[in-house]
Amino acid sequence: MKHLALIAALTPFAAWADTDPADWDSVIAGAAGQTVYWNAWGGSTNTNDFIAWVGEQVKAEYDVTLEHVKLTDTADAVTRVLTEKQAGQDQNGAVDMIWINGANFAAMKEADLLFGPFAEALPNWDIVDVDGKTVQTDFTVPTEGYESPWAMAQVVFIYDTADVAEPLGSMQEILEWAKANPGRFTYPQPPDFLGTTFLKQVLVDILPDPSVLQEPVSDETYAEVVAPLWAYLDDLTPVMWREGRAYPVTGDATYQLINDGEVDLAISFSPGAASAAIANFELPDTVRTFVLDKGTIGNASFVAIPYNSGSKEAAMVVANFILSPEAQARAQDPELLGYGTVLNLEALAADDKALFDALDLGIATLTPEELGTAVAEPHPSWMTRIAEDWITRYGVTQ
Amino acid sequence: MAQRRFLPALPALTLLAMLGPVVAGLYGTILPAFGHMPTVGAFGPNLDAFRALFEWPGLPSAIRLSLTTGLIATATSLLIVALITAGWSGTRAFLLLERMLSPLLSVPHAAAAFGIAFLIAPSGWLARFFSPWLTGWERPPDLLIVQDPWGIAMTLGLITKEVPFLLLMTLAALAQADAQRSTTVAQALGYQRMTGWLKTVFPRVYAQIRLPVYVTLAYAMSVVDVAVILGPNTPPTLAVQIVKWMSDPDLTMRLQAAAAAILQLGLVVGALAFWRFGEWLVERLGCRWVMAGRRSHGDGIIAGAALGLGMLSALAVLLGITVLAIWSFAAQWQYPNILPDALTTRSWMRHSSGTLEALGETTIIALVATAAAAILTIGCLEAEHRYGLRLTKRGLWLLYLPLLIPQVAFLPGLQTLFLSVGADMGRGPVMMAHLIFVLPYVFLSLADPYRAWDPRYGTIAGALGATPDRTLWCVRLPMLLRPLLTALAVGVAVSVGQYLPTLLIGGGRVATLTTEALALSSGGDRRAIGVYGLMQTGAALVPFAMALMVPAIVWRNRKGLRHG
């Protein structure tokens, strides 16, 4: 058996070699007829509809079939690829493309589970806003072409103007507001990504110098750096919804709480989501959004292709398609999805740019100027460690 | 006579179809639990994973929750079912409850839990009926009702779904327990209805529903979907925590998850042993109670209370489903409005293509898995009948292993197995995986009525010249039509409700109503949950309705076959 494996390893298997992303014509040729199983979180009807629309487009244009595998947790797809590697299934894996970022990307890249580099060879990479948006690092981890960006996200706070008089400028103000209005604020339970984002947002905002978060966690300084966060949460938790004895599962579940009148303020990672939710009756039309005076955390959503996908060409075609001005403008339309574009609008042709200019961002969406520059994500090691400690401190307190 | 050679092999084949995957899956759990998982660079054996598990500060609460919710939910459900049947079987109220069974059973756990959560939440339907005019709540009060730390809401949610299941099993058993004559005799001796039934019929019925009760207990202790929706999450039950660890991006957490899975298995075994002890105790006390010969125990009041509780639990599910149905047509709907501002078909339009595709997939998988399970079960039981190839007690326990082990504990290992034999992805393997869970339920539903069938009918048929096959097809199966259809309906409902096997073995590529509904449920979109929950309910409802209707039609002129 060992000899067989050796022979197999030494045999040049040109027939199975992956198409070079730079040779785009052969990528398109190879993609025709392939099926892409895009593993993406399926908890949002708007996202699901957008992915279905992408499927229709790539079918018509490239004869690529796109199937949306609706995940409850992106880690399921990571686990899947890992299991396949474990079982030696190095070709035609179940996952062809994953909506991914942060710790999941770091884990997959670390474990060599990804195909690439391909992202910067995509034709539409030329119009991506490489300088203005954090599309080449993912939570400080360099992407090195192993994932392709498709949407920008930035923390905004959703508030009901019927109950909150005016936007709050800092996490400290939010704390004071919560004390004055007990039971009217909550955040999704860590380790949900939005919940951990809230923790990071607190830390970034209350630290005098948050630049220390750009480096990986070190055991010496960790306790000291995060001490203000725990102090903050010790103050906040007793005045939270249900006194912090229960938490909503996800960010979308907090919309429901606002709509039910249970809370008045929630965190969101999608500047346009509130407008989209109003259009879908999921939020009252008195809802607006704000960002903090010092700015809020922002990051990009990416798509990555597992090393054992059998439809890499088609996956690249899809990754490229969702970078097209047409798809990006649709994603930014708050009536449909409300995600920020990753494109550099100045680099677009006039009629492509017009697609974006024509968008009505919606009553609850801030303009790019109002959103301001996003604050960088901390290194993923912070998030992991903080989430763990949060669980010990607040997640098992009963 | 191919069949004669084939039939004796069926029990072995059945056990293989079930045991192979379970053993492989368990193996795949035990290895990482003891620190062996080469893909993440862990080489055992060691106890590090257990050490890490016992250091988790939430463990005592998680264990307590699993035990209390499971035991209390099961005991309460059994009590309600026993008292209702004792006090009311054969009455009009009982008939009404019987009619409500199928819709109740077909409501998937997750959908029922969602409905109940929305009913009892501080901003929920019940509060809205009385606010603010009565309660003065202009805003919903900040009360921890759903997800309470004691797991009360979760226990209630479980009871609402376990009562109909146990009642169904009891009804199936009643047919074989000769209840009518016993109660008649007891009543002639002056026993009140409920006391008489409990003293004479219950012991026989319980013997037949014992395994369903065990399964209920194991299920209630390791349920994930209901616990996520109604149970506390600071910390959650152990089963939910296992799922969380399993899906942690840090893959070494799977070691801890595996260790917790072993612990969960231990808890279930411990709880079953405790239950067994309880049975022994009840038996001892019960005998004394029967011997004492008291004729009544406030029968009217207790029976009335039991019926009230049963009706209440049924009402909770039905109201929950009603409210989900309203949500699926709702435009904006805010507290404290009792009804939405407007109705719209938008949610249904949005989800129409997705739901229809998923419905097709769900139906095909459920039908094939259930049919296969029924064939294997009947084959086993018939082989047992003809050749005395009776499963040993231990063998029987092995058959129920998939129901007594938390799914999450052995499914990832099972996935690896399917992968390594190349039978990966797509419908076929998913059907096989469903079979593992459907088979025990079908067997469980059918075995006792099948065995309790009076063999003298067979003797008579044989004396009249019928071959064993002819006896099976023309006498036994027709007579067992009702339990058979019930078993099939249970099988379909089980298949429709499967989430983890579909997701894991299907590689996410097989989209059933349940996987779609649960994917949506993480977003908390009540409209989408309403659409998928109703579709799911429908998919499971039709077979149950048929299980009730078909025998009633076929046996409309056979009085003796209609009671069961």
Angstrom CA distances, B99 to A147, A208, A250, B216, stand at 56, 67, 38, 22
Tell me the mean pLDDT in the region A368-385. 85
Q: Which amino acid is at B128?
A: R
Residues of chain A contacting B60 with CB distance shorter than 8 Å:
none
- B-proximal residues of A, 89-128, CB under 8 Å: 89, 94-95, 103-104, 106-107, 111
CB A242 within 8 A of CB B122: no
Same CATH fold, B58-328 and B1-34+345-564?
A: yes
Q: Mention the CATH class of domain A18-150+300-365.
A: alpha beta
Tell me the two tokens of residue A392: 């010990």
Tell me the two tokens of residue A192: 């949900």
Whose tokens are 């007829």? That residue is: A33
Residue A264 pLDDT greater than 70, yes or no = yes
Q: Is the minimum CB–CB distance between B139 and chain A shorter than 8 Å? A: yes
- Interaxial angle between packed helices B513-521 and B346-387, expressed in degrees from 0 to 180 and rounded to the nearest 10: 130
Residue A15 pLDDT greater than 70, yes or no = no
Q: Is the minimum CB–CB distance between B510 and chain A shorter than 8 Å? A: no
Q: What's the Rg (C-alpha) of chain A?
A: 22
Residue A102 pLDDT greater than 70, yes or no = yes
Angstrom CA distances, B96 to B88, B214, B413, stand at 11, 27, 45
Residues of chain B contacting A37 with CB distance shorter than 8 Å:
507-509
pLDDT per residue as tens digits for the range A302-346:
999 999 999 999 999 999 999 999 999 999 887 788 888 899 988
In whole angstroms, what is the distance from residue B324 CA to residue B7 CA?
47
Tell me the two tokens of residue B351: 């989800």
Q: Which amino acid is at B467?
A: T
To the nearest whole Å, the CA of B264 is away from the closest chain A CA by: 18
Looking at domain A156-296+375-395, does it have CATH number 3.40.190.10?
yes
Angstrom CA distances, B531 to A101, B521, B534, B544, stand at 31, 11, 5, 20
DSSP structural state of residue A391: I
Of A70, A80, A83, the CB nearest to B519: A70
User: Which pLDDT does position B504 carry in this prediction?
Assistant: 74
User: Which pLDDT does position B564 carry in this prediction?
Assistant: 46
- Testing the interface with A: which of B31, B118, B332, B421 to mutate, by most A Cβ within 10 A? B332
Task: Look up the CATH number of domain B58-328.
Answer: 1.10.3720.10
User: Which pLDDT does position A44 carry in this prediction?
Assistant: 79
Strand partners for A41: A71
Q: Tens digit of pLDDT per residue, chain B (564 long)?
A: 445 567 778 888 888 878 788 888 888 888 888 888 776 677 878 899 999 999 998 999 999 999 999 999 999 999 999 999 998 888 888 888 887 887 787 788 888 888 998 899 998 999 999 988 888 888 898 888 888 989 999 999 999 999 998 998 888 788 777 888 888 898 899 898 889 899 999 999 998 788 889 989 988 998 887 888 899 988 999 988 887 887 676 777 878 888 998 898 899 999 999 999 999 999 999 999 988 888 888 888 888 999 999 999 999 999 999 999 999 999 999 888 999 999 999 889 888 888 898 999 999 999 999 999 999 999 988 888 888 766 666 666 777 778 777 776 777 667 766 666 665 567 888 998 899 889 988 987 788 788 888 889 989 999 999 998 899 999 999 999 988 998 999 899 889 988 878 877 887 778 898 888 877 776 677 888 889 888 988 888 888 888 888 888 888 887 777 654
Tell me the two tokens of residue B297: 């125990």
Closest residue on chain B to A70 (Cα): B519
DSSP structural state of residue A364: T
Helices (H), ranges, chain A: 2-10, 24-31, 45-62, 74-86, 103-110, 171-180, 193-206, 219-236, 251-259, 273-279, 312-321, 325-332, 350-357, 368-371, 380-390
Angstrom CA distances, A43 to A72, B115, B312, B521, B543, stand at 7, 18, 32, 6, 30
In whole angstroms, what is the distance from residue B151 CA to residue B233 CA?
10
Across the interface, whether the CB atoms of A281 and B232 are under 8 A apart is answered no
- DSSP letters spanning A31-60: HTT-EEEEEEE---HHHHHHHHHHHHHHHH
Neighbouring residues of B392: CB distance < 8 A, sequence distance ≥ 6: none
Specify the 3-state DSSP secondary structure of B330. strand
Residues of chain A contacting B244 with CB distance shorter than 8 Å:
191
Across the interface, whether the CB atoms of A284 and B528 are under 8 A apart is answered no
- A-proximal residues of B, 348-377, CB under 8 Å: 350-351, 354
Number of Cβ within a 10 Å radius of residue B295: 14
Q: For chain A, which residues make up each domain, given as ranges?
A: 18-150+300-365, 156-296+375-395
In whole angstroms, what is the distance from residue B131 CA to residue B141 CA?
11
CB B465 within 8 A of CB B509: no
Q: For chain B, which residues make up each domain, given as ranges?
A: 1-34+345-564, 58-328
Q: Which amino acid is at B37?
A: M
Superfamily the domain B1-34+345-564 falls into = MetI-like (1.10.3720.10)
Q: Is the minimum CB–CB distance between A88 and chain B shorter than 8 Å? A: yes
Specify the 3-state DSSP secondary structure of B323. helix
CB B331 within 8 A of CB A285: no
Strand partners for A68: A38
Tell me what ipTM this predicted complex has. 0.79
Residues of chain B contacting A247 with CB distance shorter than 8 Å:
233-234
In whole angstroms, what is the distance from residue A61 CA to residue A64 CA?
8
Q: What are phi and psi of A375, to 5 degrees?
A: -80, 140
Across the interface, whether the CB atoms of A245 and B149 are under 8 A apart is answered yes
Residues of chain A contacting B144 with CB distance shorter than 8 Å:
242-243, 245-246
Cα four-point dihedral sign A13, A14, A19, A23: positive
In whole angstroms, what is the distance from residue B452 CA to residue B463 CA?
20
Residue A11 pLDDT greater than 60, yes or no = no
Strand partners for A301: A151
To the nearest whole Å, the CA of A344 is away from the closest chain B CA by: 31
- Testing the interface with B: which of A84, A181, A233, A281 to mutate, by most B Cβ within 10 A? A281
Residues of chain B contacting A69 with CB distance shorter than 8 Å:
508-509, 511
Same CATH fold, A156-296+375-395 and A18-150+300-365?
A: yes
Across the interface, whether the CB atoms of A282 and B525 are under 8 A apart is answered yes
User: Which pLDDT does position B364 carry in this prediction?
Assistant: 95
